[in-house]
Amino acid sequence: MLISGIKKTTLLDYPGKVSCIIFTAGCNLRCQYCHNSEFVLPEKIKLIKDFIPEEIFFNFLKTKIWLLDGVVICWWEPTLQKDLEAFCQKIKDMWFLVKLDTNWQNPDILKKLLEKNLLDYIAMDIKWDYDNLENLIWKYDKQKYFESIKLIKNSDIDGEFRTTLIKNYHSLDDFETVVKQITGAKKYFLQNYKWGNTLQEDFDGKSFLSWELIDFKNIALQYVEKCTIRF
Ligand code: SF4
């Protein structure tokens, strides 16, 4: 397991739980607005010298049995890690909950993890309308996207979908099509794009004004059970 970083405690990333986060390395998408190209592009990942040995992570976890409820495995795309299943099993053997953040490109792996009861919560990115993504993401598989949505919606475990809203690329007019893709979802989070270094250097997306997000939320609520704006 490539562990590029550990956040020792968070109250925000696993709803209702105290957790730690581990960050992996590598991603199979290329979102132009990605703020983390150093952990996404293979030529940049090669430059990372200090991956954290698994042993250090598990030794840390042993000291947090009474403090943490769970472990969030996230960024950049954990399902690319070949030993993810064994890694989740080790965490579960220590009686911690496991939350997985995924970009949806590997539904086969998701399915396997769900069948083996290795996940307790899944968060999946809804990038936008998957028939019109070319201006935001290079290289993606639409079929896999719909397979992952179905898996999450049909699973018994808790989960959420979430979208980062980007002015200049996303509009209210198109949003209904986006949220229809996850009709019936229990939880949907909207978050505002934040300016920063991007994978596409001249990316010209901007943040929405806070009150503009409420219009998106109102549309979403026609299709999902609960929609929350993350500020
Ligand atoms: S934004 Fe997320 S899914 Fe997109 S390239 Fe970056 S890490 Fe991958």
Confidence band (pLDDT; 50, 70, 90) for 14? very high
pLDDT at position 130: 83
As a whole number of angstroms, the distance between CA 175 and CA 167 comes to: 12
pLDDT at position 126: 94
Q: What is the pairing mode between strands 5-10 and 19-23?
A: antiparallel
Is pLDDT of 138 > 80?
A: no
pLDDT at position 96: 98
Output the average pLDDT for the chain: 93
pLDDT at position 133: 81
Tell me the pLDDT tens digit for each residue of 22-43: 999 999 899 999 999 999 999 9
Q: Mind giving me the DSSP string for 89-105?
A: HHHHHTT-EEEEEE-SS
Is pLDDT of 204 > 80?
A: yes
| Distance between Cα 167 and ligand 1 center (Å) | 18
Q: Which domains does the chain have, with CATH numbers?
A: 5-162 (3.20.20.70)
Of all protein residues, the one whose alpha carbon is nearest to atom 7 of ligand 1 is 76
Residues in the chain: 231
Q: Is the pTM of this model over 0.75?
A: yes
Is pLDDT of 209 > 90?
A: yes
112, 113, 114, 118 alpha-carbon torsion, rounded to 10°:
150
Spell out which residues line ligand 1, taking CB within 6 angstroms: 27, 29-31, 34, 36, 40, 75-77, 103
CA 8 to chain centre: 18
